[in-house]
Amino acid sequence: KAVVDIINSALIENKRILSKNTDLNIGQCPDIESDNGGGINPENLPEGAESVSIEGKTYYISRNDAGEITNVAFVTSGEGFQSKIKVMACMSPDFKKMLNLKILEQNETQGWGSRLLNDTQNTDPQWFLKQFNNLNTDGIIKTVATTPNKLNGEVAVISGATVSSEAVINMLNESIQEYRDTYQNRKVN
């Protein structure tokens, strides 16, 4: 146990040192731990990330050391099968690719809709969320019955939690378009 504690302490210290002396946060999206229930806590955003409001929509923008925007995240919500589902979508700056998706809030039926977060009936319990990593969002996100193709913007729904899965996908399709349009028509970077 002492050896494990020493190694863990060293790893934590190395991460702290590196985070102050390198640009580890480039391309990172805000962490779900950043959400305090009413929005994202600016103190918990990755270093260099900023919260920007454009026409009433809040964006969480990360930049690299050169000041270039590396990603843009937003929070949206919609009705699932039995509860509101709140997600954070992290996008490429042109909104043509979803870098990742995090579910911030849901109270779907335990064992069914709750599988959005943890599908214990699958060998990879996180498979539903992982299929949104680097997903092409140039067009609409489509559901398919066969193996999805990320380049075509395709994802699969969770069998037995179809309504919850489709609610997330429909919410994203609507929100991505709205946030993309507002962001691309902004007056400043």
Collapsed DSSP state (helix, strand, coil) of residue 13? helix
Q: What is the pTM of this model?
A: 0.74
Residue 40 near residue 30, CB atoms below 8 Å: yes
Q: What are phi and psi of 91, to 5 degrees?
A: -120, 160
Q: What are phi and psi of 8, to 5 degrees?
A: -60, -40
Q: Higher model confidence: residue 67 or residue 55?
A: 55
pLDDT more than 70, % of the chain? 71
User: How many Å apart are CA 60 and CA 168, to the nearest integer?
Assistant: 20
Task: Give the residue among 31, 67, 33 at the shortest CA–CA distance from 48.
Answer: 67
DSSP state of 96: S
Identity of the residue numbered 140? I
Collapsed DSSP state (helix, strand, coil) of residue 65? coil
Task: Give the residue among 151, 104, 112 at the shortest CA–CA distance from 142.
Answer: 151
pLDDT more than 90, % of the chain? 34
Task: Give the residue among 149, 151, 155 at the shortest CA–CA distance from 138.
Answer: 151
pLDDT tens across 69-113, in order?
999 999 999 888 888 889 999 999 999 999 999 888 887 767 776
pLDDT for residue 34 is more than 50: no
Q: Higher model confidence: residue 50 or residue 14?
A: 50
Collapsed DSSP state (helix, strand, coil) of residue 84? strand
pLDDT for residue 43 is more than 80: no
Q: Taking the domains of the chain in order of start, what are their residue ranges?
A: 26-184
